[in-house]
Copies of this chain bind each other. A is one copy, B any other.
Amino acid sequence: MTPDFPSIQGPICAIPLSHNDRIVMGHGSGGRMTQELIRKVFQPYFSNPTLDANNDFGVIASIGNRIAVSTDAHIVSPLFFPGGDIGRLAVCGTVNDVAMSGGKPVAITASFIIEEGFLIADLSRIAMSMSDAAREAGVIIVAGDTKVVEKGKADGVFISTTGIGYISEGIEIGGSNAKPGDTVIISGSLGDHGMAVLSARGDLGFETEILSDVAPLNGMIQSLVNEIEVIHVLRDPTRGGLATTLNEIAVQSKVNISIEENLIPVKSPVASVCELLGFDPLYVANEGKLIVIVPSPHAQKALGIIRENKYGKDAAIIGTVNIEPKSRVLLKTRIGSNRVLDVMAGEMLPRIC
């Protein structure tokens, strides 16, 4: 549909956009007000030669012979939370999913659904945050779209991002590749993102120092791919947390995954809030953590590489991959008993990402 972000030229608009202004329906019309919005709010942050070519499509060079593609809708509430915002989340979430292929993310697209009345200043802040995250991750925004819906028909802004990356020859990483004898590593502490968003809602009745871990992990992954000969699985434990994600891998690979509770890093404020509210940090969403499954002989080296990264200082080996019971995750608890760790059944914390 035209005009996308690429179509950002046109006669100068007579209506100036100031930061006190709010989104009106006309900003989604595809006409002059849309062009103005894009030129004043998005272009200052997103500009690059591909986007600035002003077509309905962005053109990127194709490198290698396999492309990894991933997409996510972002609906987090509130839009701004300790440690991040919907903009950083939208870029990192999609960059990370592409990177889980072992490939190199190069480009993302972004489509915005904006509620009438939304503050232009907040939209600018989100665009700036996306731009910063994209720069950190080394990706460019190659296409975009803005739509506006009436007040009460959305919730501030929703952002859908799609990421594109290239997978080098010889890399075969995926959820179905875990093998008995493998070691399971987590790149850091669990539950930070979910608890940071929850605390930002102000429902806790007290303040916490918890920050979201939202971060691009492609740098860490690139180091692993470059230096570790065999990597079986990379996956980020986002919605549903570590427990749900390990269950997905156990089912896909038809293996057992056994982890030990006392090896799993959880920051003490997160553990406290979880205990108080009855949440299990193993089911709480993370946005800057990575599960790495490698053959055991490579585990120590992989752990070292992860710990060298700024987002991997608290990395730990947390378990092993075994033959039986197939498609199940077992947790050895602190008191030494073994229990089945199931997929999250319903919802725990809605609108976390």
Contact = CB atoms under 8 A, between A and B. Distances in A.
A333 interface: no
A11 B67 contact: no
Contact of A31 (B66, B145, B153, B344): B344
A323 interface: no
Copies in the assembly, this chain: 2
B7 A175 contact: yes
B72 A145 contact: yes
A240 B100 CA distance: 39
A237 B57 contact: no
A98 B32 contact: no
Interface stretch (A156-164, A269-277, A300-308): A156-164
A127 interface: no
B145 A54 contact: no
A96 B4 CA distance: 12
Which of the four size classes fits the interface of chain A?
A: 35 or more
A72 B149 contact: no
Contact of A57 (B58, B69, B348): B69
A204 interface: no
A29 interface: yes
Given A10-B247, A97-B57, A164-B164, A142 B69 contact: yes
B75 A33 contact: no
A273 to B, nearest CB: 19
Contacts of A26: 345-347
Interface in A49-63: 53-63
A212 interface: no
A110 interface: yes
Contacts of A155: 149, 153-154
A342 B10 CA distance: 10
Nearest to A71: B109
Contacts of A150: 350-351
A313 B93 CA distance: 44
A346 B29 contact: yes
A48 interface: no
A122 interface: no
Contact of A73 (B70, B111, B142): B111
A97 B1 contact: yes
Would you list the 9 A-B pairs with minimal beta carbon distance, nearest first? A30-B239, A31-B344, A160-B160, A162-B162, A71-B109, A30-B240, A26-B346, A73-B111, A29-B347
Given A30-B344, A56-B97, A73-B111, 11 more contacts: A2-B97, A2-B237, A10-B247, A28-B351, A29-B239, A30-B244, A32-B343, A59-B69, A69-B143, A113-B158, A160-B162
28 contacts: A1-B93, A1-B287, A1-B353, A11-B251, A26-B346, A26-B347, A28-B347, A29-B240, A30-B344, A31-B283, A31-B343, A31-B345, A33-B345, A34-B239, A55-B175, A56-B235, A57-B103, A58-B68, A60-B66, A61-B66, A62-B62, A62-B64, A69-B109, A69-B142, A71-B143, A73-B111, A73-B147, A162-B162
